[in-house]
Amino acid sequence: MSNVLLECEGSIGWVVLNRPEKRNAMNPALNAEMLDVLDEVEADDSIEIMVLTGAGTAFSAGMDLKEYFHEIDSAPPARQRQVRREAYGWQYERLRMFPKPTIAMVNGWCFGGAFTPLVSCDLAIAAESATFGLSEVNWGIIPAGVVTRDLAAVLGYRTALDLIMTGRTFDGREAAAMGLVNSAVPAADLRAEVIALADRLRAKNPATLRAAKEAFKISHDMPWEQARDYLYAKLDQMRLHDTENGRQRGLEQFLDKQLRPGLTAVPREPPASL
Ligand code: COA
């Protein structure tokens, strides 16, 4: 693996897009590697939380304009389909429903196609100085793949059309204000903030956390009746997968008056580092 690094530290798996000389633009080789890295992170029981970030000055400058667009435009249709499938495969299909909590750590430039892995991550923290932009309109293309759909999921109508149609850049603070990321912090504090968030997530019951995020993402576009039925089914299914019996322990804590609003619910032994 050279285009992607996986660094394990405690129970965090740091997945680093690693083409700093190309501002981590996502070319076909990087996309293919990411599919393997995500399999590795899923299979490694020592990794509880995954953080996606970029090496150097960029989170990612988006799809590689040379290797993903220019060179692939003239490739045989089967190759074009494969290249798109691998990009879409990790950035949307695998990442959006990844079984472990995912955090995007936006350390720098974040353009175009990079919005898809950004939005696919469950949570996101940016450096205040990070620069975002949907520059596609400047290159004679539209935010394709599922970038436009991603925007519709996280931003309001006017904001999304402003970004899509003007291609203007904006910083981490504005990204937080519009809800594209959860928060923005000074670059020097970024890693510590991400670790603090990861520790908060690690204190939760993992089966509950997984079911909760899947339930939100899947029920998002469902009709209400269907959502109600699905969510009850999910609630029951979750108990089958929970080796820590979090529901039983959580309810007992409430009934024993150990747990009340304002107190921290910990139906799980806190990780050693807390
Ligand atoms: N695709 C392919 N190559 C890219 C790239 C992209 N999306 N973004 C950057 N690169 C390459 C540059 O071509 C350059 O390669 P070179 O050194 O071989 O000439 C290298 O990365 C460094 O880029 P440079 O522009 O010199 O870096 P910078 O720090 O001054 O600026 C950006 C960084 C991200 C602002 C700028 O590179 C940029 O605007 N990139 C395009 C981003 C974009 O529009 N993405 C949407 C794609 S759909």
The reply to whether 136 belongs to the active site is yes
How much is the average pLDDT of 215-222?
95
Gap between the Cα atoms of 210 and 217, Å rounded:
11
Domain coordinates of the chain in residue numbers? 4-202, 206-259
- pLDDT for 194-214, tens place per residue? 999 999 999 998 988 999 999
- Residue bearing the CA closest to ligand 1, atom 11: 22
Options 113, 133, 145, 246, the catalytic residue: 113
Please indicate whether residue 64, judged by its CB atom, sits closer than 6 Å to ligand 1: yes
Please indicate whether residue 150, judged by its CB atom, sits closer than 6 Å to ligand 1: no
The reply to whether 140 belongs to the active site is no
The reply to whether 63 belongs to the active site is yes
- Residue bearing the CA closest to ligand 1, atom 14: 22
- As a CATH number, domain 4-202 is 3.90.226.10
Please indicate whether residue 22, judged by its CB atom, sits closer than 6 Å to ligand 1: yes
Of 15-29, 34-48, 70-84, the poorest mean pLDDT is in 70-84
Helix ranges (H only) for the chain are 28-43, 77-88, 95-96, 115-120, 147-154, 157-166, 172-177, 190-202, 206-219, 224-241, 246-255
The tokens describing 145, both together, are 């793949």
**Residue 268 in this model has a pLDDT that exceeds 90:** no
Name which of 84, 139, 138 is nearest 116 in CA terms: 84
3 state SS of 105: strand
How much is the average pLDDT of 87-108?
97
pTM given for the model: 0.92
